[in-house]
């Protein structure tokens, strides 16, 4: 495989890795239609802030979510709404089993 093609598929694989955790999938759905802070997300999921921050970092690094600072808080929202298309596709695959 040519190096440029390999790099393209490696980048795509990183996105799938970022989506490959139930908590991160929940976060994506939670911030789909509204902005939420780390504290709000932590309360929704029921995990500690440091663990939530790690999940958010993975999603941010892969440009799936983005944060916006308002006063002393950062509010997260879905940066790429089409990522939810992956979820719809996953449901179709699950229903085919």
Q: Say how many domains are in the chain.
A: 1
pLDDT digits (tens, 9 = 90+) for 41-83: 999 999 999 999 999 999 999 999 999 999 999 999 999 989 9
Range of the structural domain that residue 82 is part of = 3-96
Domain of residue 13, CATH code: 1.10.10.10
What is the spatial distance between Cα 56 and Cα 31, in angstroms, rounded to a whole number? 11
Say whether pTM exceeds 0.85.
yes
Q: How far apart are the C-alpha atoms of 67 and 37, rounded to whole Å?
A: 9
- For residue 28, the tally of other CB atoms under 10 A from its CB is 21
H or E segment to which residue 89 belongs: helix 83-96
Please tell me the distance from the alpha carbon of residue 89 to that of residue 95, in angstroms, as a whole number.
10
């Amino acid at each position: 495989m040519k190096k440029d093609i390999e790099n393209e598929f490696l980048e795509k694989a990183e996105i799938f890795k970022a989506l490959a955790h139930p908590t991160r999938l929940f976060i994506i759905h939670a911030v789909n239609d509204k902005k939420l802070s780390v504290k709000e997300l932590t309360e929704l999921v029921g995990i500690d802030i440091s663990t939530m921050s790690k999940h958010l970092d993975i999603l941010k690094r892969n440009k799936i979510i983005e944060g916006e600072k308002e006063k002393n808080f950062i509010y997260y929202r879905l940066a790429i709404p089409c990522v939810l298309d992956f979820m719809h596709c996953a449901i179709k695959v699950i229903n085919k089993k």
